[in-house]
């Protein structure tokens, strides 16, 4: 069986279509990284421009008020002069602050920038009842303020370069506790959208946008059709094995695992490429980057319709990026097994790779959005939200966690493999 397994792997790697798919995937991954870096650099330059505009504005205010003081001093209204002088002092202080901030951004003095952000957040954290930070009269939740404050402290303590954000005041950490609407929502998303440029920060960024499920789906499409394509009318390559003393289960096992191993290898390859691009271009980054983990609210005993998040009291903690990545990668292996097994079963039923991929994509999307249960394998598609317990927090269901997900995915994988073998076992291959 091992010889058959190796033979199947070699068959895949000899196909021009396989190498073409790998080359296109490589180019897409590299292009994605450099596009992200380009956007991050544009935002960084834009932040410097914003600070320069503020400097010009406050310098203009000071000049205008100084002229007004000169005019007023000729009269007898000393109170008016003192009032204008106080305004001048205020604007000069703001002008000086922005000049300092410009130098910090130009020199990328991130720790000093983080200290300024911590100073801005301290009063908000210590006085939640009398202070808030709003966007068009829609207040940022106290949970987000607390989480952002603690994140800044951890970044500063470990001298970690933060993500690039489109904001010169406070780079808030977005959380599920904010419910902005309309133009405020657009501003909030623009302010809190984060761009990583180092290898680790960009990999972390990709994991948050369903990069892994998309990669796995592509891997299934490339490597999950060995039996289905060989049992079509035009390609009866599988008949070769019928002349050999192979039992059907050995043949099925070799073909299933050859595709699975190559899909796993492809997934690792597609995670390594953007990481290496970041390492070569901007460096590796820090494994100590803090990752927010929600602890959530307790379900209301009177019914789910009364469930409500409590931004003032709900707890959270941070884990280091290295721990986060270990959990994500371990869970990803199980997730690859599940998605590949599901695709393999569909490919045996439909025998059209494009239709199988579309159907699996549609089932995955529907399963992760419309059937929220800890026993639904598709509830674990967004691996980032499972690891950070965001899904469990939003659904008030602490059962949605890594351990439960791994058991559910492995059980579903076993079912799909069994159904696939039964389909293969009782199919008329030579017909």
Looking at residue 75, its pLDDT comes to 53
Looking at residue 428, its pLDDT comes to 61
Q: What is the C-alpha to C-alpha distance for residues 27 and 23, in angstroms, rounded to an integer?
A: 6
pLDDT, the chain, mean: 88
Q: What is the C-alpha to C-alpha distance for residues 147 and 388, in angstroms, rounded to an integer?
A: 13
Return the structure tokens found at 427.
């199919």
Tell me which of 67-71, 84-88, 113-117, 295-299 is least confident.
67-71
Looking at residue 282, its pLDDT comes to 92
- Please state, as a whole number, how many other Cβ atoms lie within 10 Å of the Cβ of residue 406: 18
Confidence of residue 431 (pLDDT cuts 50, 70, 90): very low
CA angle 277, 167, 39 (to 5 degrees): 30
Average pLDDT of span 65-82: 71
Q: What is the C-alpha to C-alpha distance for residues 216 and 385, in angstroms, rounded to an integer?
A: 17
Kindly state the helix (H) or strand (E) to which residue 242 belongs, with its residue range.
Answer: helix 239-242
Closest listed residue to residue 196, CA positions, set 263, 291, 330: 291
Confidence of residue 245 (pLDDT cuts 50, 70, 90): low
Average pLDDT of span 371-395: 92
Residue boundaries of the structural domains of the chain: 120-195, 200-425
166-208 pLDDT, tens per residue?
A: 998 889 999 999 999 999 999 999 999 999 999 999 999 999 9
Average pLDDT of span 358-376: 90
Average pLDDT of span 288-308: 82
pLDDT at 127 over 90: no
Query: If you search the block for the tokens 């109170």, which residue do you land on?
Result: 79
Q: What percent of the chain has pLDDT over 70?
A: 91
- Give how far the C-alpha of residue 213 lies from the chain's centroid of Cα atoms, to the nearest Å: 12
Average pLDDT of span 66-87: 73
Q: What is the C-alpha to C-alpha distance for residues 258 and 226, in angstroms, rounded to an integer?
A: 9
**pTM score over 0.75:** yes
Q: What is the C-alpha to C-alpha distance for residues 294 and 304, in angstroms, rounded to an integer?
A: 19
Tell me which of 28-42, 74-88, 337-351 is least confident.
74-88
Q: Higher pLDDT residue, 21 or 7?
A: 21
């Amino acid at each position: 069986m091992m010889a058959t397994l190796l033979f199947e792997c070699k068959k895949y790697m000899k196909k021009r279509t396989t190498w073409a798919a790998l080359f296109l995937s490589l180019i897409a991954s590299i292009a994605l990284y450099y596009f992200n870096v380009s956007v991050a650099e544009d935002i960084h330059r834009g932040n410097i421009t914003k600070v320069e505009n503020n400097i010009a504005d406050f310098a203009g205010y000071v000049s205008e008020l100084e002229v007004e003081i000169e005019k007023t001093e000729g009269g007898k209204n000393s109170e008016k002069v003192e009032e204008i002088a106080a305004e001048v002092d205020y604007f000069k202080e703001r002008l000086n602050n922005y000049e300092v901030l410009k130098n910090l951004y130009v020199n990328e003095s991130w720790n000093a920038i983080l200290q300024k952000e911590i100073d801005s957040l301290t009063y908000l954290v210590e006085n939640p009842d009398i202070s808030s930070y709003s966007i068009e009269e829609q207040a940022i939740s106290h949970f987000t303020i607390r989480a952002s404050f603690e994140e800044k402290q951890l970044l500063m303590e470990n001298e970690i370069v933060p993500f690039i954000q489109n904001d010169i005041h406070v780079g808030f950490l977005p959380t599920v506790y904010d419910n902005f609407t309309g133009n405020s929502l657009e501003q909030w998303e623009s302010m809190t959208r984060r761009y990583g440029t180092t290898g680790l920060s960009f990999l972390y960024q990709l994991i948050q946008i369903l990069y892994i499920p998309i990669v796995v789906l592509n891997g299934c499409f490339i490597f999950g059709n060995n039996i289905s394509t060989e049992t079509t009318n035009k390609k009866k390559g599988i008949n070769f094995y019928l002349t050999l003393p192979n039992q059907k289960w050995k043949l099925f096992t070799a073909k299933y695992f050859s595709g699975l191993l190559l899909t796993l290898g492809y997934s690792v390859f597609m995670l390594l490429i953007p990481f290496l691009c970041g390492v070569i271009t901007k460096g590796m980054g820090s494994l100590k980057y803090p990752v927010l983990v929600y602890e959530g609210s307790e379900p209301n005993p009177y019914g789910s319709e009364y469930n409500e998040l409590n931004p003032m009291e709900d707890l959270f903690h941070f884990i280091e990026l290295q721990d986060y990545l270990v959990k994500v990668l371990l869970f990803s292996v199980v997730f690859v097994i599940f998605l590949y097994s599901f695709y393999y079963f569909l490919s045996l039923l439909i025998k059209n790779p494009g239709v199988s991929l579309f159907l699996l994509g549609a089932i995955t999307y529907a399963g992760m959005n419309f059937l929220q249960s800890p026993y639904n394998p598709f509830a674990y598609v967004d691996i980032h939200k499972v690891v950070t317990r965001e899904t469990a927090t939003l659904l008030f269901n602490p059962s949605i966690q890594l351990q439960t997900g791994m058991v559910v995915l492995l059980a579903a994988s076993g079912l799909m493999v069994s159904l696939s073998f039964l389909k293969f076992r009782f199919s008329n291959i030579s017909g």
